[in-house]
Amino acid sequence: MAMNKNRLNVRLPPEVNRVLYVRNLPYKITAEEMYDIFGKYGAIRQIRVGNTTETRGTAFVVYEDIFDAKNACDHLSGFNVCNRYLVVLYYQANKAFEKMNTTKKEDDLIKLKEKYDLKTPGRN
């Protein structure tokens, strides 16, 4: 009870959330091994390990509690797993959508250039 009372008074930075983005994972790591590593810091709601060529070596870990996620991020960033040092970050949805938005804008720009037959000097 005392621990929950202390947690109510703690002010966390705005980037802290329950979802962690993990990079530099060994390609052969299993979900069970991920639960063993990250489960030490609290209850986990979900782990998603990347399985495509673009997402291999990455994972998302979703904790039940934001303080458990913060504790895991603080302790596991730089942790050595199979001679690879983990990069543990807080997932930031706005940055992920910003990348998608940029590609969409570039595609729209190409379509407009084709529609109006515009050429940019020095580019194809």
What tens digit of pLDDT does each residue of 73-94 get?
999 999 999 999 999 999 987 7
Q: What is the dihedral of CA 108, 109, 113, 116, to 10 degrees?
A: 60
- Using alpha carbons, list the distances in angstroms from residue 56 to 17, 41, 49, 63, 124: 23, 24, 8, 21, 32
Does the structure show a pLDDT above 70 at 17? yes
User: pLDDT tens digit string along 3-16?
Assistant: 555 566 678 877 78
| Partner residues linked to 26 by β-bridges | none
Task: Give the pLDDT score at 92.
Answer: 86
User: pLDDT tens digit string along 22-67?
Assistant: 999 999 998 899 999 999 999 999 999 999 988 899 999 999 999 9
Task: Give the pLDDT score at 2.
Answer: 46
